[in-house]
Chain A
Amino acid sequence: MKKLSARRRHPLAALVVLLVALTAIGGLYAALAPAPKAQADDSSQSLAIEEGKKLYTVGCSSCHGTSGQGGSDGPSLVGVGSAAVDFQVGTGRMPAQQPGAQVPRKKVIYTQKQIDQLAAYIASLGPGPVTPTEEQYDPAGANAARGGELFRTNCAQCHNYQGKGGALTNGKYAPTLEGVSNKHLYEAMLTGPQNMPSFPDATMPEENKREIIAYLDAVNGEGAPSPGGMSLGSLGPVTEGLFGWIFGLGALIACAIWLAAHTTKAKKS
């Protein structure tokens, strides 16, 4: 203490104090300050928005309007957020091929970089659900059994008990969840695309979404086991009945015909 106090009048003391204070304040600010939501000033972000706007004008504006305000052919995109764009464009649903009961999943025509640019532009129109990061939708360690319970309560009535999809009214449908990436599953729950209700974090916390994804991975993911043998599409008793009639009874009737044709005969006719 004595040493420090002895040097307090050193010519460089003020400079040292200033440096210490600045470091402390800077460090505290970096640690405690809220992360900026809108990074309009970030140069790479503003570049992405600019590129996104160009892509938007070419691919989307004919239905959604020149600045995302919507029109008779497409809804307003103000406030849908980047997650909705990432889902709709990332699964090939958008740009839509034709109007209809529902826009189907198809070949993705944009690269992920372009999708991100589009998403950045749409996100700049108004705040909305943000594209999730990997740890948000990563099912590792999540409770799949609990996810199954949540899935049966919230999803199975449209998507079937194993996520194989189902019919809705007037040609609309809940699509199969087979082969849908974990990120897109998460985004669909978050944004509620097309006829699906949305499950924002307020009604279904992030943890629950991860559990549902874990359940789907366990029963419907790549290499998920089908303990009973061929699953017949996991579509319930209808396909089982069809199979039983055609292959079960069909095979047995074929055997009966064969047996009746090969009989002992007193004399061959």
Chain B
Amino acid sequence: MSTNTSASAKPRGKAPAGERVADWADGRLGIYSLGKANLRKIFPDHWSFMLGEIALYSFIIIILTGVYLTLFFHPAMNEVVYDGSYAPLQGIKMSEAYASTLHISFDVRGGLLVRQIHHWAAIVFVAAMLVHMMRVFFTGAFRKPREINWVFGFLLLFLGMFDGFMGYSLPDDLLSGTGIRFMEGAVLSVPIVGTYLSFFLFGGEFPGAEVVPRFFTIHVLLIPGIMAGLLVAHLILIVYHKHTQWAGPGKSEKNVVGMPFFPVYTAKAGGFFFVVFGVIAAMSALVSVNPVWAYGPYRPDQVSTDAQPDWYMGFSEGLIRIMPGWEINFAGHTLVLGVFIPLVIFPLVLGFMGVYPFLESWVTGDKREHHLLDRPRNRPVRTGIGAAWISLYLILLVGGGNDLFATRFHLSINAITWVVRISFFVLPVLVFFITKRICLGLQRRDRDKVLHGRETGIIKRLPHGEFIEIHEPLEQGALFKLTQHEQPKPLEVGPEVDENGVEKKVGPTAKLRAKLSRGYYGEGTQIDKPTVEEYEEITSGHGHH
């Protein structure tokens, strides 16, 4: 009890230990002004804003578990005879890389769990990045001033995919070796330089003894280093731009309505990290991933069915599987179009997403800053393009797993391949138009809700016998949300002759741009939102619903 009294009667002049430590740090790092500027940073609250966090946290988990794995993994391709604890492989010749992966899995304490956390986190990481990117795409959060940050995010996705590929190639098991062989084939298909590139990459003939050590360095050092840099830049830009928000009462292009970073989001984000870690750890404890012991060591003369890449490379597998095996001979050189064309389409599919913000702002001529998010339905063409891209991506995933669709659904693999081939061209177009129509339908519904109110489900009988449903007018905030968006006009080329009768020169690019712009915002791309006059006219007409 005496301690209480002595605490309150502390001698003045000497600051508490925490404050002294903070003062010490501030004198050297300037943390006070840094904290003052950033700790009270406001972030808006919405579940879709947390998708990027899932990616961030799984990246951290990957780094942590990856460090543990490097302590035991030997990136070497010298041949050893296995004598570890997995009986079905004892006495088999294999590379040291594979043997050390088996050692991690069966003889290192916690090794298999950490390996599985590393792999599951990688699968979730890339998936979360893709979903996060789709969120940013469909809400238009990539518009000025955030185009550069979109590109950073896109590069993170692209590098994440390749780092994942390098990672699961390291154990030198039969599946990963088949994947590297696939990559070698793709490199070889490049005209003129393909063979040289392959020799450069593998340090000679495939597989050689160089590929695992080289991939190891790229996987643990080069790509993660670049990714960490991009990630920091990505986060700094989020703070610099401030977060986007959904439109609503009191929310404008000039403010951010939400909670401060400290203490609300430090707690929430910190807690969410542990949620992500917990979910991934639970998955890894319960469910097997990449069972390298089952695949066996890589030997170029062996192959197993179900040899697919991890899901994020699946669409490249699909491109290869649906492509006819075309081959032409030109001046004594063989050009393997069956592999080379997919190799060209692969970066185009991804790259389209990478450059989309620039494409859209060029087409629409929109160079203004945007901090309020678009509702996907209010931008039917963009939403349609996004949905079409997703459909293309998904149908290629189906193509990549065509054998499993064949065996699980008792279908012919040839039929599936043909369906995917046709869908590759037809499906995105169909999905685009269907999505656009759905968006327009939803816009009509919004318009009806604003003008006629919400359907209450209450039926009222009028004195003369007519039945009507009572519509309840929306409250002001809801009306604002449904009508605040702007409905841009397409770019016009302008009159062909100016006021003096001189013909204006309009280049083909400008004409194309105007045409695309009409496609974006011209006729049939949006339902006119209700005007104030329309609203007043309808709401003042008493007795009519």
Give the Cβ gap from A262 to chain B, nearest Cβ, in Å: 9
When distances are taken between beta carbons in the complex, the residues of chain A under 8 Å from B440 are none
Identify which of residues 181-223 in chain A touch chain B, using a CB-to-CB cut-off of 8 Å: 215, 218-219
Tell me, rounded to whole Å, the shortest Cβ–Cβ distance linking A148 to chain B: 5
Closest residue on chain B to residue A166 by CB atoms = B305
Find out whether the CB atom of A170 lies under 8 angstroms from the CB atom of B412: yes
Please indicate the chain A residues that have their CB under 8 angstroms from the CB of B303 in the complex.
156-157
B153 within 8 A of A: no
Whose C-beta in chain B lies nearest to the C-beta of A217? B88
A-contact bits for B90-122, CB 8 A (1 contact / 0 none): 111000000000000110000010001000100
Q: Decide: A241 and B310 in contact? CB cutoff 8 A.
A: yes
| A149 to B302 alpha-carbon distance, docked (Å) | 9
Cα A228 to Cα B294 with chains together (Å): 11
- Is there a chain B Cβ closer than 8 Å to A263's Cβ? yes
Main secondary structure of the interface of A (DSSP, over half): helix
> Which of A143, A230, A238, A253 lies in contact with B288, CB distance below 8 A?
A230
Q: Which of B128, B289, B410, B414 contacts A252 (CB 8 A)?
A: B128
Q: Contact: A174 with B51, CB < 8 Å? A: no
Interface mask (A32-66 → B, CB under 8 Å = 1, otherwise 0):
00000000000000000000000000000000000
A-B contact count (CB 8 A): 211
Contacts A167-B406, A237-B308 given; indicate if A255 touches B279 (C-beta within 8 A): yes
* CB closest chain-B residue, reference A269: B477
Residues of B near A242 (CB, < 8 A) are: 311
Q: Are B308's CB and A238's CB within 8 A?
A: yes
Interfacial chain A residues near B45, Cβ < 8 Å: 260, 263
Indicate whether B175 reaches chain A with its CB closer than 8 angstroms: yes
A221 to B259, CA, bound (A): 57
Contact A145 B293 (CB under 8 A): no
Instruction: Name the one of B105, B294, B302 contacting A234, with C-beta atoms under 8 angstroms.
Output: B294
Residues of B within 8 A of A159 (CB): 305
Instruction: Determine whether B247 belongs to the interface, using a CB cutoff of 8 Å to chain A.
Output: no
A71 contacts the other chain (CB 8 A):
no
Bound together, the chains give a CA A212 to CA B303 distance in angstroms of 16
Please tell me the number of chain B residues within 8 Å of chain A, measured between CB atoms: 76
- In angstroms, Cα B285 to Cα A255, docked, is 19
Q: Which of A239-269 contact B (CB under 8 A)?
A: 239-245, 247-249, 251-253, 255-257, 259-261, 263-264
Any B CB within 8 A of the CB of A231: yes
Interface residues of B in 285-335 (CB under 8 A from A): 285-291, 293-296, 299, 301-312, 314
Query: Which residues of B have CB within 8 Å of A244?
Result: 120, 123-124, 127, 283, 311
CB pair A231–B291 under 8 Å, yes or no, is: yes
Collect the chain B residues with CB atoms within 8 Å of residue A243's CB.
283, 287
Structural contact, B289 and A240, CB atoms closer than 8 A? yes
Instruction: Tell me whether B388 is interfacial, beta carbon within 8 Å.
Output: no
Which residue of chain A lies nearest to B272 when distances are taken between CB atoms in the complex?
A259
Cβ of A121 within 8 Å of any chain B Cβ, yes or no, is no
Q: Is B276 an interface residue (CB 8 A)?
A: yes
Q: Which residues of B contact A174 (CB under 8 A)?
A: 305
Least CB distance, B477 to chain A, in whole angstroms: 9
Within 8 A of B (CB), among A59-98: none
Whether B87 sits at the interface, judged by CB under 8 Å, is: yes
B54 on the A face (CB < 8 A)? yes
* Chain A residues, CB < 8 A from B54: 249, 252-253, 256
The reply to whether the CB of A177 lies closer than 8 angstroms to some CB of chain B is no
Let me know if B275 is at the binding interface, CB within 8 A: yes
Interface residues of A (CB under 8 A from B): 101, 143-146, 148-149, 152-153, 156-162, 164-171, 173-174, 215, 218-219, 226-232, 234-245, 247-249, 251-253, 255-257, 259-261, 263-264
Q: Which 3 A-B pairs have the closest CB atoms?
A: A241-B311, A228-B288, A166-B305
Some 5 contacts from A to B, beta carbons below 8 A apart, are A167-B305, A167-B402, A226-B288, A252-B124, A263-B259
